[in-house]
């Protein structure tokens, strides 16, 4: 742990290195012999199999002198300041982007050579195996002065191996951006299309939150305001434009070198970004305007980027299952996987995908923004100072960890899951979610409106006021987790599958990445599965978008996935309502999984 | 002649019905028995074969009492007020336009039906045999409100059987426009794409004449002025936009119903209309930016028309042989004709096409604007009041005819050809083009700078000043006709053909339609061929554009023609220079062809 801190890598730790919170897990990859032996604390924390795999607690394992040890830090052990970087580092595809740069050496038109200016480039590219079908009109407009400026040689920026977008100097940066347009959060990745490397990441709150927390409230706003659609669409695209600029500034690149952007998002975000009036999503049968892949010029959406820059939007599946869900399934490889697996992308809308024997069922459940810290008294998004992990010791003393170790200023989603799980575990909350006071200590106190648990005392918080989690907050969380649990139940029923068949649970979403899995299972939000079947994949919608940005094959796969997905309607389903009501409470505590 | 005048059809007539000018030829199709017999005047005028074909002079033939007689009025006998109508009435293709309206009855999205709004239309169109590949982004933006407004039924406007442009009420006008963008004159045709009928025609002077009379002087202007390209391009497109409005106003249609526009023009006009910087046309090797067919959205060119309206520009052949030449060859059917034929499209640039055994040679010659009335002292374009035909009688008295019979205000191209031919014929001009004065009469007088022939005396002209044709004007005309004659000579040499082999001479261009063929041959401008091998086809570039507007097959043919054409460079060719110098003079008069 000290070595990690010295290297600027902040590990999750609630107990401050006392060996009681079990959060600072690492996996030793090489040089494990140089470490002190596995301690009793670690044996209590890990299964034999996990110890065999190299699992250690960073606070317990020490390096015996000067030695090289390689450890992997699992996502769940990484702290917030490390988040975006971790999420943005890998894109599991072979590099084959739609946009490529092809070196050419053209011979100017003349007798016996090309007759027209564009033919000189077409002929040169033909030698490189590229047959141009279409020259973008703006490219054609500039082709003569461009060629003169370049001395008739340089690189042709080509889309899909057939469409000439621009002519540039050799080695000009060739950039692409992938966007995950979430209901609450927008995330963007700037990639080098020559290497596939992520050059920068950026995120911001979706400006549409001004018009409603969730999809339905924004659709109501649009229905009630004549200018509503234009406002939401323009502010969303404005944010996208800002993020292009932000990402480029981070690494000293120019937005004029961005040649392709890939969008994923739920169906409403898709429609607003592409300028499609989404009112049909607001009432039954919740029909999207289109489910097709959209490919339009960035400038037709008012986005300023490189000449010819294209926007590629993954297909939607239904009114409430959008391109983000397709990107999730793509990133998880659900189109190439055998057996049965479940994917949960937790957010304000939670997307669910169930794979069984090559068939894909999908649903979307309105879990609401509680996981993002909204509608929670001291809730906040997962930013510096947010209480992200909480544990109670046997004497009910609260131990907590904030993002970046900054003074606490609120509680983010993963913190609220921990609080509820710990309160139930320690008997301070009953199965219906009612808080209990205790004579023994002052954890649960009478707040202004209702009972509340004091998580951070006034003296420790940034605002010098106590940070609490209330009875009402519990209700919000119950509704959110019940929506997820009921959705999973319906999907499993539809696929006629049972828990035992599920060989993998893929948990996605920024929230899903940092949440304590055992606690999420403990409160009945996620099905109770052995942890070694659980994979936390971070922002996999963003990963799917990056995959499509880097790989034409991934684009084809995404189309096939969308066509294959069977949409299961939850809204208005009586079966779902019943499952939802069953899921509101908390199951009896079952202890850690083997 | 009286019957025609009574019906509002103005026949060409210089002698005023005295039987001396032979201009009012008609061809009797039915009911010839009701006419008075062929007169001696007519026997002097026509060959036996022509009389057998039904040729009569309208001033000589009278109808004996009340009877039905059907006559065809050949183009050369029609007077100006009739021109545009005549040119615009026929488009020799089977109706199969790129843009079609397909009736649909959609089922709104719902369980078991379409999932997305666009799918309801796609599904309905599939039943009509139309498989939509792409929905235009603007169409997609409006699809939901459009469908609601239409009650989910109406007509889909579809481009190329696969691209959805718009949804409209059943029977909404479906319009297209064809443009011939000439160096001096712009002509446009508004067509009903459901019937193929021409609804309106309009023409105006190309506003680019402000920047130079011909292609090279406009290119110089562009080279010398940083804003030059933008000025010429914008003013040309402005004129196109005006013409859309003009044509629609004429017949009470709306420009929002125009769904396709086809452009033909020389290469410079093409580049300016499509927004391509044309500097490369200004110097050797005179390379166009592109020779490809261009297909862009009208709005990307700043043209306001119907939603999704496309602009289709026929391909260019070379820097000085443009899409208009391709359209000419298409209209003349040179891609389907056997043997040897020559086409001459006379204008400020004269396009030449020689067909021999399926091979096409083409050249362009800068005949200059003299044929359009420019650089001629009293020259004017072929508008009301222009002297369009002139004859001298044996006593050298001038007889002339003006367009519309209006008081003379100047001389148009066909008038100047007649004047020179008649002066040579009557010995008032020698073979080198020098005018001669005569004691006998006052036809040739000493003008301000040089000798001049008085065509219209002061008392008869609109301005009350005499209208003359000067020695200098003769030199202009000599240069123009020599350029045409030399171009034809070079092309025939290249194709190794001789006059006898040419089975058809197709003469195109507004000027070429109204010029007296015998006189054009007499002055050595066109090769001396029997008149029955000459076909005057009017604005055939415009006809070719209309063909492409109405027929997808015509578009394919145009592409093949452009690819097949072998361009013969005249500029800078020593052989051409020699032929040009040889062609400046006038051959001895040979009398009418048999």
As a whole number of angstroms, the longest Cα–Cα distance in chain B is 99
**A578/chain B closest Cα distance in angstroms:** 22
Residue B591: its pLDDT value, please?
44
Q: If pLDDT is split at 50, 70 and 90, which confidence band does A591 have?
A: very low
Does residue B398 share a domain with residue B350? no
Q: For residue A284, tell me if it sits in a domain.
A: yes
Inter-chain CB proximity A110 and B285 less than 8 Å: yes
Contact status of A566 with chain B (Cβ, < 8 Å): no
Q: Which residues of chain A have a CB within 8 Å of the CB of B280? A: 109, 117, 144
Which chain A residue's Cα is nearest to B569? A111
* Cβ-defined contact of B567 to A115 (cutoff 8 Å): yes
Q: Between B116, B287, B291, which is nearest A289 by CB?
A: B116
CA neighbor of B265 nearest in space, from B333, B381, B334, B348: B348
Q: How many CB atoms lie within 10 A of CB B400?
A: 21
CATH classification at residue A572: 3.30.420.40
Buried-exposed string A555-570: b where 16+ CB fall within 10 A, e elsewhere: bebbbebbebbebbbb
**Which residue among B110, B117, B291 places its CB closest to the CB of A289?**
B117
Q: Do residue A468 and residue A489 come from a single domain?
A: no
Strand order in the sheet with B444-446: B444-446, B451-456, B467-470
Residue where one domain finishes, among candidates A78, A111, A137: A78
Contact indicator for B435, B429 with CB cutoff of 8 Å: yes
User: pLDDT-derived band of residue B462, with 50, 70 and 90 as boundaries?
Assistant: confident
How far does A302 lie from chain B, in Å, by closest CA? 13
CB contact under 8 A, B141 and A275: yes
Q: Is the peptide bond before A285 cis (omega within 30 degrees of 0)?
A: yes
Q: Which helix (H) or strand (E) holds A180?
A: strand A175-181
Q: Are residues A179 and A260 both part of a single domain?
A: yes
Which CATH number is A195's domain given? 3.30.420.480
**Which pLDDT belongs to residue A10?**
65
Q: Is the pLDDT of residue B334 over 60?
A: yes
Question: How far apart (Å, rounded) are the C-alpha atoms in residues B426 and A72?
Answer: 106
pLDDT 10s digits, A304-340: 999 999 999 999 999 989 999 999 999 999 999 999 9
Instruction: Find where tokens 């420019």 sit.
Output: B374
Strand order in the sheet with A153-159: A99-105, A153-159, A163-168, A134-135
- DSSP conformation letters of A462-524: TTSS-EEEEHHHHHHHHHHHHHHHHHHHHHHHHTT--GGGEEEEEEESHHHHHS-HHHHHHTT
- For residues B551-562, give the mean pLDDT: 97
Note whether A133 and A272 are same-domain residues: no
- Residue B197's contacts (CB-CB under 8 Å, 6 or more residues apart) are B191
* A283 shares its domain with A184: yes
Does A297 map to a domain?
yes
CB contact under 8 A, A285 and B109: yes
Q: Which helix (H) or strand (E) holds A243?
A: helix A228-250
pLDDT at A23: 74
What is the least distance, in Å, from the CA of A139 to any CA of chain B? 10
CB B363 within 8 A of CB B490: yes
At A76 the pLDDT is 63
- Does A532 fall in a domain? yes
Contact A137 B300 (CB under 8 A): yes
Q: Are A318 and A479 in contact (CB under 8 A)?
A: no
- pLDDT of A20: 73
Q: What is the pLDDT of residue A16?
A: 66
- Residues in chain B within 8 Å Cβ distance of A279: 144
Q: For residue A97, give the nearest of A156, A174, A165, A201 by alpha carbon.
A: A174
* Interface list for B 128-147 with A (CB within 8 A): 135, 137, 140-145
What is the number of CB-based contacts under 8 A between chain A and chain B?
105
Confidence of residue B210 (pLDDT cuts 50, 70, 90): confident
Nearest-Cα distance to chain B for A287, in Å, is 5
Question: B270-273 — which CB contacts under 8 Å span 24+ positions?
Answer: B270/B181, B270/B294, B270/B313, B270/B316, B270/B322, B270/B323, B272/B208, B272/B229, B272/B232, B272/B233, B272/B236, B272/B237, B273/B181, B273/B233, B273/B236, B273/B237, B273/B240, B273/B301, B273/B313
Q: What is the mean pLDDT of chain A?
A: 90
**CA-nearest residue of chain B to A233?**
B141
Using one digit for the tens of pLDDT, what is the confidence trace for B52-89?
Answer: 989 999 989 998 888 889 998 876 676 543 344 344 44
Q: Which of A19, A46, A78 is the last residue of a domain?
A: A78
The residue whose two tokens read 């190299």 is A54
Considering only CB atoms, A287 lies closest to which of B117, B142, B567, namely B117
How many beta carbons lie within 10 A of that of residue A110, not counting itself?
12
Query: Are B68 and B30 spatial neighbours (Cβ–Cβ below 8 Å)?
Result: yes
Q: Give the bridge partners for B243, in sequence order.
A: none
* B478 vs B1, residue with greater confidence: B478
Asked whether residue B499 falls in the same domain as residue B567, the answer is: yes
Sign of torsion, CA B550 B553 B556 B560? negative
Helix crossing, B215-224 with B228-251: angle to 10°?
130
- A156 and A179 part of one domain: no
Contact A275 B115 (CB under 8 A): no
Stronger pLDDT, A35 or A573, i.e. the higher one: A35
Buried/exposed B420-435: b ≥16 CB within 10 Å, e otherwise: bbbbbbbebbeeebeb
Q: How many CB atoms lie within 10 A of CB B43?
A: 11
Say if the Cβ atoms of A109 and B277 lie within 8 Å: no
What pLDDT digit, counting tens, does each position of B385-396 carry? 899 999 998 888
DSSP secondary structure letters along B321-384: B-HHHHHHHHHTTTTS--SEEEEEE-SSSEEEEEEETTEEEEEEE---GGGGTTTSTTB--S-T
Whether A282 and chain B come into contact, CB under 8 Å, resolves to: no
Interatomic CA distance for residues B521 and A223, integer angstroms: 74
Cβ–Cβ contact B283 with A under 8 A? no
Q: How many domains does chain A have?
A: 5
**Chain A residue with the nearest C-alpha to that of B289:** A117
Question: Chain B: residue nearest A112 by CA?
Answer: B285
Q: Which tens digit of pLDDT belongs to each residue from B11-45?
A: 777 676 777 777 788 999 999 889 999 999 899 88
| CATH number for position A157 | 3.10.20.880
Other beta carbons within 10 angstroms of residue B394's beta carbon come to 7
What is residue A352's DSSP assignment?
Answer: E
Instruction: Give the ranges where A65-136 is alpha helix by DSSP (H).
Output: 83-87, 117-127
Are residues B511 and B382 in contact, defined by beta-carbon separation less than 8 angstroms? yes
R_g of chain B, CA atoms, integer Å: 26
Beta-bridge mates of residue B56 = B26
Question: Nearest residue of A to residue B567 by CA position?
Answer: A115
Q: Which of B471, B534, B472, B462 is nearest to B502 (CA)?
A: B534
CB B271 within 8 A of CB B277: yes
In the three-class reduction of DSSP (H, G, I as helix; E, B as strand; rest coil), residue B280 is classed as helix
Tell me if B260 is assigned to some domain. yes
Residues A462 and A579 in one domain: no
Residue B135 to residue A567, Cβ atoms within 8 A? no
Which of A140, A564, A566 is best to mutate for the B interface (most B CBs within 10 A)?
A: A140
Residue A137: inside a domain, yes or no? yes
> d(Cα B576, Cα B491) in Å, to the nearest integer?
10
pLDDT above 90: percentage of residues in chain B: 69
Write out the two tokens for A568: 């299961």
The reply to whether B120 and B212 lie within a common domain is no
The verdict on a CB contact (< 8 Å) between B144 and A277 is: yes
B290 in A contact zone (CB under 8 Å): yes
Quickly list H helices, A251-322: 267-273
Output the six-digit token pair for B169.
């009420």
**Strands A310-313 and A258-265, bridge-based pairing:** parallel
User: What pLDDT, on the 0 to 100 scale, is given for residue A442?
Assistant: 83
Q: Which of A114, A285, A290 lies nearest to residue B140, judging by beta carbons?
A: A290
Cross-chain CB nearest to B137 (options A110, A140, A296): A296
State the pLDDT confidence band at A14, using cuts at 50, 70 and 90.
Answer: low
Q: Nearest CA of chain B to the CA of A512: how many Å?
A: 30
Element (H, E) at B220: helix B215-224
Q: Are residues A54 and A144 in the same domain?
A: no
Domain containing A498 equals 335-369+478-583
Q: How far apart are CA B98 and CA B260, in angstroms?
A: 8
pLDDT tens sequence across A136-167: 988 999 999 999 999 999 999 999 999 999 99
Closest CA to A166 of A327, A310, A21: A310
Domain boundary residue, one of B43, B78, B113: B78
Asked if the Cβ–Cβ distance from B117 to A280 is below 8 Å, we say: yes
In a domain, A319, yes or no: no
What is the phi/psi pair of residue A304, to 5°? -90, 120
Do B365 and B387 belong to one domain? no
- Eight-state DSSP code of residue B525: S
Tens of pLDDT along A482-534?
Answer: 999 999 999 999 999 999 999 999 999 877 778 899 999 999 999 999 988 99
* pLDDT score at B75: 62
d(CA B20, CA B5): 19
On whether both A114 and A144 belong to a single domain, the answer is yes
- Of A288, A296, A300, Cβ closest to residue B116: A288
Write down the H helix ranges in B2-150.
2-6, 40-45, 48-52, 83-87, 117-127, 137-150
Q: Which two tokens stand for residue A291?
A: 């489910």
CB B507 within 8 A of CB B346: yes
> Rounded to whole angstroms, how far apart are CA atoms A8 and A506?
29
Does residue A259 form part of some domain?
Answer: yes
Q: How far is B586 from chain A (nearest CA, A)?
A: 35
Residue with tokens 């740069």: A101
Test mutation, B108, B113, B140, chain A, max A CBs within 10 A: B140
Closest chain B residue by Cα to residue A114 = B287
- Cβ within 8 Å of B, A 310-369: 316, 318
B190 class by beta-carbon count within 10 Å (0-12 exposed, 13-18 middle, 19+ buried): buried
- Provide the shortest C-alpha distance from residue B2 to chain A (in Å): 56
What distance in Å separates residue A116's CA from the closest CA in chain B?
5
Q: How far is A344 from chain B (nearest CA, A)?
A: 23
Output phi, psi for B505, to 5 deg.
-115, 115
Is residue B91 domain-resident? no
Cis peptide before B285 (omega within 30 of 0): yes
Distance (Å, rounded) from C-alpha B410 to C-alpha B417? 14
CA distances from B94 to A77, A128, B197 (A): 73, 42, 12
């Amino acid at each position: 742990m000290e070595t990690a801190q010295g290297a600027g890598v902040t590990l999750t730790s609630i107990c401050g290195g006392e060996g009681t919170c079990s959060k600072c897990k690492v996996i030793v990859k090489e040089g494990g012999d140089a470490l002190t032996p596995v301690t009793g604390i670690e044996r209590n924390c890990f299964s034999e199999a996990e110890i065999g795999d190299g699992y250690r607690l960073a606070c317990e394992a020490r390096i015996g002198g000067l030695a090289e040890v390689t450890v992997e830090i699992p996502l769940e052990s990484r702290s917030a300041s490390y988040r975006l970087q971790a999420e943005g580092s890998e894109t599991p595809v072979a590099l084959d982007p739609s946009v490529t740069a092809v070196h050419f050496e053209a011979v100017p038109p003349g007798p016996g050579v090309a007759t027209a200016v564009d033919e000189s480039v077409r002929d040169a590219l033909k030698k490189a195996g590229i047959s141009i079908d279409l020259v973008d009109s703006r490219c054609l407009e500039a082709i003569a002065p461009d060629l003169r400026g370049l001395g008739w040689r340089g690189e042709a920026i080509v889309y899909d191996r057939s469409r000439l977008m621009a002519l540039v100097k050799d080695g000009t940066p060739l950039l692409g951006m992938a966007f995950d347009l979430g209901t609450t959060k927008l995330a963007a990745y700037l990639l080098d299309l020559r290497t596939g490397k992520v050059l920068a990441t950026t995120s911001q709150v979706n400006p549409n939150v001004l018009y409603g927390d969730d999809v339905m409230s924004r659709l109501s706003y649009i229905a009630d305001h004549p200018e509503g659609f234009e406002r939401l669409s323009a502010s969303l695209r404005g944010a996208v434009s800002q993020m292009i600029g932000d990402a480029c500034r981070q690494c000293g690149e120019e937005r004029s070198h961005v040649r392709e952007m890939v969008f994923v998002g739920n169906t409403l975000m898709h429609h607003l970004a592409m300028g499609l009036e989404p009112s049909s999503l607001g009432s039954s049968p919740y029909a999207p305007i289109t489910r097709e892949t959209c490919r339009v010029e960035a400038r037709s959406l008012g986005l300023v980027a490189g000449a010819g820059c294209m926007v590629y939007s993954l297909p939607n599946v239904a009114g409430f299952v959008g391109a983000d869900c397709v990107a999730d399934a793509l990133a998880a490889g659900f189109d190439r996987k055998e057996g049965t697996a479940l994917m949960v992308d937790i957010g304000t809308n939670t997307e669910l995908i169930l794979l069984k024997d090559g068939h894909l069922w999908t649903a979307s459940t309105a879990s609401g923004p509680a996981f993002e810290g909204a509608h929670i008294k001291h809730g906040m998004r997962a930013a510096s100072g947010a209480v992200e992990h909480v544990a109670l010791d046997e004497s009910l003393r609260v131990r907590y960890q904030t993002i970046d170790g900054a003074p606490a200023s609120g509680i983010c989603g993963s913190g609220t899951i921990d609080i509820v799980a710990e309160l139930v575990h320690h008997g301070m909350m009953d199965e219906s979610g009612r808080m209990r006071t205790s004579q023994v200590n002052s954890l649960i106190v009478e707040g202004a409106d209702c009972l509340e648990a004091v998580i951070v005392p006034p003296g420790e918080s940034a605002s010098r006021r106590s940070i609490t989690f209330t009875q009402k907050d519990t209700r919000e969380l119950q509704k959110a987790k019940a929506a997820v649990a009921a959705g999973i139940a319906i999907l499993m029923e539809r696929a006629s599958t049972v828990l035992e068949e599920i060989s993998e649970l893929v948990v996605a979403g920024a929230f899903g990445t940092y949440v304590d899995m055992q606690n999420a299972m403990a409160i009945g939000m996620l099905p109770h599965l052995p942890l070694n079947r659980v994979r936390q994949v971070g922002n996999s919608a963003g990963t799917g978008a990056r995959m499509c940005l880097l790989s034409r094959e991934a684009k084809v796969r995404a189309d096939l996935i969308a066509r294959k997905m069977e949409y299961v309607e939850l809204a208005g389903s009586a079966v779902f309502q019943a499952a939802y009501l069953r899921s509101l409470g908390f199951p009896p505590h079952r202890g850690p999984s083997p």
